[in-house]
Each structure stands twice: as structure tokens, then as C-alpha cells.
Amino acid sequence: MYLKRKIDDYLKNWKTSDEKFPLIVKGARQIGKTASILNFAKENYKNVIYINFVTDEIFRTITKDGYSAQAIIKNISYIDTKMKFIENQTLIIFDEIQEYPEIATSLKFFKEDGRFDIICSGSLLGINYKRIESVSVGYKTDYNMHSLDFEEFLWAKGYGQETIDEMLEHMQNLKPFSDLEMKVFGDLFKDYCVLGGMPKIVAHYIEKGTFEKTLNMQRQLILDYQEDVRKYADGLEQTRILNVFKHIPVQLSKENKKFQISKVASGARFKDYWGCVDWLNDAGIINICYCMDFPELPLKGNYDPSKYKIYFRDTGLLMASLDDEAQADLKINNNFGVYKGALYENIVAEALVKSGYELYYYKKEDSTLEEDFFVRTMKTLVPVEVKATNGRSKSLRTMIQSPHYPDITAGIKLCYGNIGHENDIYTFPYFCAFLLKRYMMEAEW
């Protein structure tokens, strides 16, 4: 079962581009990279050469005679005579390139040769991608892929672009959703939150119509990620990275969700562990949300790199980390209030990153003033508050009304309530989070 993805249109546009460079599709394991590339290849090329550097180790020798397109094609043909190279009609796919980063050196020569289209893909675990980056700058295009966002989940459930456009119109016109719409979209969003966006898990849920076995699939994925750490990380770093990974749910459960390295292990210091956090981020497993020095524009450079929160890049991983009782409470009772709001924040962080935002929060020293996330228009900074219920937003009101924050004139509150607007606070249901960037592009604030 192939699920429609946003990369589908990107790949079609890439194929017809006048300045088409070899493409590298980046992202974590099991988010659907290979399936999307192969589906695109099947629909758009008469001839496809697929090479997987994990399952077919012999192909790691194809650059032994140099990196020119001709030398590599010759060696591929020696290994498998069934592979034919038809000029201007062939797509060559190099998969799992983290296992053979040397192939990236050839991208320059394939671009200059011009007879074949090239797509590379890899899980980017460990340090190997740094080697890929260093030898292919200027001769490749990168595409960052994620697991399914809620829009793609709606597509998988049979909803089309018309439904998405109507949801956005509700936001733009501040028109509350009907009770039926709130029920339908709310239930779908809860299912998405429980499942996460891994294509295999979502496809299983759609085919079976239940959550049966999805938890086992999620927990197996966590075990796979831990095994990848052991495979790709060096020596002592393995233990440190795994310690950070395993402590994410524990620290998200705290009222103060700032990640504290000192809690990871006895005597742990920031300077010894920061590379581990960076590793998990590069691997596509986590999102990092930095604490701003002060809530003002610009966002980049205006933060403390030693203060941050860590969220799972796919909320399904957080779900799989919960105990069986919490899982049952969520699935049976729809009780998303468990875990002290961690699920709410993780879901919104995930939606913002998948929309193209970087993550920032603010916590004023010696004060209760705190905001979960920030987005922006061309001229203003917009705090985003994540609420478990549609309650009062003291910090949000303070930032909007206080003269100490001149870049902030309005704010957004996400909750399980309906659309509303009062005192420059715009309230939207959680299931609209994936539309925030499109909404902000046309907001007249």
C-alpha cells in the first residue's frame, strides 16, 4: 500500500527542472524515503537502476576505477549484466549511501556527464553524511524528508485538497468549525497522535482499521534506532547517545521540560554530551527547541545553545515510550492530559518542524513567564502557546500587552477548543497546527 506523500510533487518538479542536479533525499530510517523514490521512478522512467549499499555490498566496489560516470557505469554492468543504461531515459538510485559515502564524489561527474538522472538516499545516521557533504557541495540538491504530517495522514484517510483548503479558510476567516467537523477532525488527529507518522504503521492501521499491533511496531522502531546508535556511533559515544535518547521521555514528563544533561548520568557535563544531542538531531530522531535570550526579532542567533528542550521528531516514538497503562488510557479514554502536557508540546513541535520552522521557546529567569514556541510574520514575532485545555493564557496576554516586547502584537493559542479571537489572541484547534505556516504567510498583523 503506497501512501501519497509531499515529496511526490517535489520529485516530479525536480525531473522537469532546467537546472537538475543529483538529488539526495535525507531523513531518518523508515519514514518512506525508498518507497517514495521507487514509486516516482516507476511512474516516470522507462529504465531504473536501483543499488542498495546495505543489501548489495558488492556495489561498494564500483568506484575502484575512479569516479567518472563512465567508470562507475562500466563496473555496475560488470557486477550485474541485466542493468542497462539508456541515455536520457534512466534513473539511477543509490540507496543507503551512509554505508558508502564515497559514491558522493561521483555526483559532480554524473552532473557534468548529463545522460542519467541520479537520486541518492540515506538515513544519515552517524558522521558519514559530513563526508558526503564535503565532497559534493555545489553538485547536488538536498531534500529533507519527514514521517507523515497530519495533512498526509488526511490524504491517507481519503481526504483531498478541498478539505485542506476549507480548514485553512476557517482559520483565515476566524470561522468556528461545526460540531461535526470538530468531532471528525479531532478524532482523526487523536488517532494520528497515537500512531505517529511512520508510513508502515499508518498503512497497517488503515488496512486493519484498528490499533492492533501498532504499539509493537512502534516499540520495535525504538529498538531499531537504538541498534543504529550502536552501529554508527563510536566507542564511548554510544553509551552517551543512548543515555540521552532514553531520558527524553523522562525529562518531558517534568513541569520544567528543559533538558538537563546533569540528570542523564552521574557527573554528566554539557560539554561531554552536546555532541550526542547533535548526533540524534542529525539522525532525524529528535527536534531541538532552543531558549531565546529575549523574545525579539531576529530569531536566529538570539538564543542560548546550552538551554534547550528535546522532542521526538515523530510523536509515535514518544507514545511508544509510555507504559502500557498510559497507552490504554490514551487509546480507550482519549486522555491526552496524561504526561503533563508533553504529548501536546511534542505534537506541535513536530508540526512546526515539518512545516519548515525552527524551534524556539522563552523562559524568563525568576519568573513564571514562559512561551512554548515562536513563529513570525515579516514584521512581528508571534508566540505560540500550547494548552491542554481552552483555559486562560496569562503569559501570552503579558507578552502582547507589555511595552517590554515591542515585536509582539498578537499571539496564537493551540488547544482542543474551537476557533476564536479575543484580545489579539487567536485560538485554533490542535489539528490546525500543520497549517500555521500557510496561515501566517497571509496574516495581516
The answer to whether 191 and 209 are in contact (CB under 8 A) is: no
Determine how many CB atoms are found less than 10 A away from the CB of residue 272.
15
d(CA 274, CA 261): 9
What residue has cell string 543509490? 94
Give the torsion sign (CA, 23, 228, 202, 428): negative
pLDDT-derived band of residue 134, with 50, 70 and 90 as boundaries?
low
Tell me the per-residue pLDDT of 362-374, one tens digit each, with 9 for 90 and over: 999 888 899 999 9
The torsion of the CA quartet 61, 67, 68, 70, rounded to 10 degrees, works out to 0
- Residue with the bigger pLDDT between 131 and 260: it is 260
The 3 state secondary structure assigned to 27-75 is: CCCCCCHHHHHHHHHHHHCCEEEEEECCCCHHHHHCCCCCCCHHHHHHH
d(CA 17, CA 10): 10
- Residue with the bigger pLDDT between 335 and 323: it is 323
d(CA 436, CA 177): 16
- Residue with the bigger pLDDT between 43 and 134: it is 43
d(CA 21, CA 6): 20
What residue has cell string 476564536? 420
Residues 6+ apart with CB under 8 A from 284: 26, 27, 28, 29, 31, 123, 124, 146, 313
d(CA 283, CA 281): 5
Tell me the per-residue pLDDT of 197-246, one tens digit each, with 9 for 90 and over: 999 999 999 999 998 899 899 999 999 999 988 888 877 689 999 999 99
Say what the pTM is: 0.93
Q: How confident is the model at residue 319, as a pLDDT?
A: 85
C-alpha cell, 14:
525536480
pLDDT-derived band of residue 321, with 50, 70 and 90 as boundaries?
confident
What residue has cell string 511512474? 43
CA nearest neighbour of 287 among 306, 315, 254: 315
**What percent of the chain clears pLDDT 90, i.e. is strictly above it?**
72
CB burial of 358-377 (b: ≥16 within 10 Å; e: otherwise) equals bbbbbbeeeeebbbbbbbbb
Whether the pLDDT of residue 389 is over 70: the answer is: no
Burial of 182 (0-12, 13-18, 19+ CB in 10 A): middle
What integer is the mean pLDDT of 370-390?
90
What integer best gives the mean pLDDT of the chain? Answer: 91
Whether the pLDDT of residue 444 is over 80: the answer is: no
What are the φ/ψ torsions at residue 82 (nearest 5 degrees)? -75, -15
What integer is the mean pLDDT of 298-308?
91
Helix (H, G, I), strand (E, B) or coil at 427: strand
d(CA 201, CA 30): 10
What integer is the mean pLDDT of 126-137?
64
- Residue with the bigger pLDDT between 172 and 271: it is 172
Helix (H, G, I), strand (E, B) or coil at 359: strand
Tell me the per-residue pLDDT of 155-178, one tens digit each, with 9 for 90 and over: 999 999 999 999 999 999 999 999
Q: By mean pLDDT, which of 122-126, 358-362, 367-371, 376-380 is the weakest?
A: 122-126
